[in-house]
Chains A and B, each alone.
Chain A
Amino acid sequence: MILKEDLWKNMPNMVINKSWIELGLGRLYAIWLREFKVFLREKSRLIASTFTPLLWLFVIGEGFGSTTDFFGTMDFAADSYIGYQQFIFPGIICMSVIFTSVFFGSYIIWDRKFDFLKSVMVAPVSRTTIFLGKAFGGMTTSLIQAAILLVVGFVIGIHYTPLSMVFIIIIILLLSFTLTSLGLTLGSHMESLEGFQLIVSFVVFPLYFLSGALFPLNNLPTWLSILTTLDPVTYGVGALREVMLGITGMNSFALNISVLLLSAAVLGTVGVLSFRRMKAV
């Protein structure tokens, strides 16, 4: 190590005449950037979370799709030329968003485990900023993952228009903000890594299976339709299906979007509150 004579001499007074909003944005950017870089570097995570949805799309999609007798009688698509694979495509996008966002959020358990979180919390950064930085990181990650799948959509015959692309992106971002907030909230209450497995079993899979990603919601038994109504992802799937395939499901587009907005607001608030309460050490 080398001693540098003038190390401390050249640093002017650190009192900064910046507005709090400017400072907040800088810090938000810092946290977001960190998340983004880590995401780009964890190649295995990227590959794994792209592969699983593709498996569903092609194996389940083609597999069930080929038994047309069975699904042909089902009234899941008004237009006869929409196959099962296309039908579940919006659901598979949502699946990717669920996995990416919830996992991303609950990764905060690792941040705590390796003490990185402590080093952020001892900096003059508000908990809300940390939360938002992470949530934006989760949204970015989810959007990139979804974009890969959207490209695959061309292959299976999904048509996009500029307007539908805008809606698709908005829906994905809303859903991923909601689910990243959920993951962050759960993660902020957990002290050990064991909790992570619970999140997978009791949050991630139910959110996916109850969303109507794989089946139409019209003829469900009451108990199941109550559960699907409670799942925020249901509205994401519904909205995407309408934008991508022109199928109006149980709920109108306006209702879908409203519920998505509402759940983003609720879970975002809960997340911020959880972060404020979270123990640093």
Chain B
Amino acid sequence: MIIIKNLFKQYDNVTVLNDINIEVFDNEVFGLLGPNGAGKTTLIHILATLIKPTAGTATVNGYDIIKNPSEVRSSIGIVFQAPSSDDMLTGYENLKLHSLLYAVPKELREKRISEVLELVGLTNRKDDQVKKYSGGMRRRLEIARGLLHKPTVIFLDEPTLGLDPSSREVMWKYINRLVKDEKITLILTTHYMEEADFLCDRIGIIDKGTIIALDSPTQLKEQLGGEVIEMEFANKHVDKENIDRVLKQCNFVRKVELEAKNGNVLIYVDDASHNLPTILKILDKANNTEVESVELRSPTLNDVFLKFAQRHITKKQGQDEDEDDSEGGFMEKYAQYGNK
């Protein structure tokens, strides 16, 4: 279990983490999502006792990260965002080194090393120096190392970065099984939304050091307002109010929105596949609402991510309009790009 309380981290005058409060339950998979530079890695480093927070604290497995760092370190496993194995050593030697550092009992050392090597599919390359590995193989070695000493809490900072799709899928399945069978608590960061959706029980979206959303993937998607029907009308300047009025009679329509960029209309509905014919029928009868094309979408975590990130920026821009920092501008572009 991990309890993070009022955690702050400042570098010089920049606040990188701003009052983080999270409770990660035993045997939970918790995902940290957020744009580049949001503070995900910093948070993980703090929880792994590599960086000291400016204020606040956290407990990992019941140990305080400030008062009992070595107990914390014994009970966690971590896969860093960037590879950290020794290039000059072989894969096996790297694992051997870490099994000694983590004091894996001698009788189990060899067995354990060959188990994790097999898991990540590096058994036949174990005696090659790491500098001869491909990027994905290095990644897999890191993962093997993180699991080597059977930690009860595992941090994975973008674990499947650079893995091919099939390796990624195997890793997902493995992570899932690990958590179920062994009561592992897992915190992972990722930029792959489908990964977060597949693996995580709960997700925290973090932007500029602040948690801006925290819930289960299902709930987060639900918050977006059900499924979306995107309609293109023959009349490019269709009146949104008009459509809103026409569809008001249907109780399954939650809201109607105009897609700013292409003038399409977004209709948020429950049970879209059943209700779409009804909507089309109604629109057919109404004036000046000739439908040209229809696309039906269930919200993905991607939509959630973009929505929250975007809203956060809009809100921020509203607050301090003249302070249009470049990072916000980038995020906005990022968000728009993703929406298309």
A interface with B by C-beta (< 8 Å)? 1-4, 7-8, 10-12, 14, 16, 18, 23, 26-27, 29-31, 33-34, 37-38, 41-42, 114-116, 118-126, 279-281
Contact = CB atoms under 8 A, between A and B. Distances in A.
B73 A124 contact: yes
A52 to B, nearest CB: 22
Given A116-B84, A123-B73, A281-B45, 6 more contacts: A1-B171, A11-B150, A30-B100, A114-B86, A119-B145, A281-B51
B214 interface: no
Interface of B: 45, 48-51, 70, 73-74, 76, 78, 80, 82-89, 93, 96-98, 100-105, 108, 111-112, 115-116, 118-121, 129, 140, 145, 149-150, 167, 170-171, 173-174, 177-178, 181-182
A124 B70 contact: yes
Contacts, number: 112
A4 to B, nearest CB: 6
A2 to B, nearest CB: 6
Contacts of A122: 48-50, 73, 76, 78
Given A1-B170, A14-B149, A116-B84, A23 B50 contact: no
Contacts of A27: 100-101, 103
B84 A8 contact: no
B101 A30 contact: yes
A102 to B, nearest CB: 20
Given A23-B103, A125-B101, A114 B87 contact: yes
A124 B88 contact: no
Nearest to A126: B70
B115 A18 contact: no
B103 A119 contact: no
Contact of B86 (A23, A26, A38, A125): A38
Contacts of A118: 50, 80, 84
A42 B119 contact: no
Nearest to B155: A122
B97 A2 contact: no
Given A14-B104, A14-B150, A42 B85 contact: no
A66 to B, nearest CB: 43
Contact of A10 (B87, B93, B111, B145): B111
A29 B121 contact: no
Contacts of A38: 86, 88-89
B143 to A, nearest CB: 9
B85 A120 contact: no
Most buried by A among B48, B87, B102, B177: B102
A124 B100 CA distance: 10
Nearest 6 pairs between A and B by C-beta? A30-B100, A115-B84, A1-B121, A119-B84, A123-B101, A280-B50
A37 B88 contact: yes
A123 B98 contact: yes
A99 to B, nearest CB: 20
Given A11-B112, A122-B50, A34 B103 contact: no
Contacts of A3: 119, 170, 173-174, 177
9 contacts: A1-B121, A2-B121, A3-B174, A26-B103, A34-B86, A41-B129, A118-B50, A122-B49, A123-B73
B21 to A, nearest CB: 23
